[in-house]
Amino acid sequence: MQNFTFYNPTKILFGQGQIAALSAEVPAGAKVLLTYGGGSIHRNGVYTEVKAALSGHAVVEFGGIEANPQFETLMRAVDLARKEQVDFILAVGGGSVIDGSKFIAAAYHHEGDAWAILAEHAAVQRALPLGTVLTLPATGSEMNAFAVVTRASTREKLPFSSPLIYPRFSVLDPTKTFTLPPRQIANGVVDAFTHTVEQYLTYPVNAPLQDRFAEGILQTLIEEGPKTLREPQNYDARANMMWCATMALNGLIAAGVPQDWATHMIGHEITALHGLDHGQTLAVVLPATLQRQRDAKRDKLHPVWA
């Protein structure tokens, strides 16, 4: 097993009704920047619950963060956050809203062109604290220190990371996924599955516990993914899928093992150039990547598969 440092400070509040806990989790007296996407949280009742939980806080809203959060949009949010002098960010949505909010948090104190955080790997020295309310399980962004941002003007999609952008807490209520379109749920299953594969299907380093963790996630997604598509309001299926997506990229299964993110990097380029959903690109690229790397990965495959 390779040397590793494992650190994850994110508090998870999992289950039905947990949005109400926001009142205790958001720091008292904090001025909150509430970020969200295209408005589905207004239709499914999440917005009403969040605002009720934040009734004791001053709240500034910024909506319209895209499915692939765009640098240009996020910089408008940074400008608003600076103007209003917010103290805390609450991201309500899926991985794109959370990723975008992480960038807002990092760019808030950045001096100069904030694109350097992405293009030049400029170190994040300070960041606004943030929390999340997850409404679309897929990316694991609710419990990690990574984010991906797209710049429309240059057609680039780039990642960045910093321990300063770990969410302080994340609320995961499976019932808030009941009304999601099948396409988004399918994308989420594929994303979580691919995250796991890219930390598992590499080469052996004698880390059987990490392998078993990864195999458990993969097997659960295989069993629960189709079920949650067939039965959108099956709480148990949605809960299992949601927790799989979080566990797939919170650092646990990566500890001590090699990783291969080729599929994701290729997928990012396809999304930036052609606008495909992230999950769609992974579904297309992963089988071809594994076929291309068949020999290099053979030792990690069961002999029957190889």
Q: pLDDT truncated to tens, each residue of the chain (306 aa)?
A: 999 999 999 999 999 999 999 999 999 999 999 999 988 999 999 999 999 999 999 999 999 999 999 999 999 999 999 999 999 999 999 999 999 999 999 999 999 999 999 999 999 999 999 999 999 999 999 999 999 999 999 999 999 999 999 999 999 999 999 999 999 999 999 999 999 999 999 999 999 999 999 999 999 999 999 999 999 999 999 999 999 999 999 999 999 999 999 999 999 999 999 999 999 999 999 999 999 999 999 888 764 444
pTM of the predicted protein model? 0.94
**Which residues lie below 8 Å from residue 89, measured CB to CB, with a gap of 6+?**
32, 33, 35, 81, 101, 104, 105, 128, 129, 130, 131
At which residue do the structure tokens 């030049």 appear?
Answer: 120
DSSP H or E segment with residue 89: strand 88-94
Q: Is the Cβ–Cβ distance between 105 and 124 less than 8 Å?
A: no
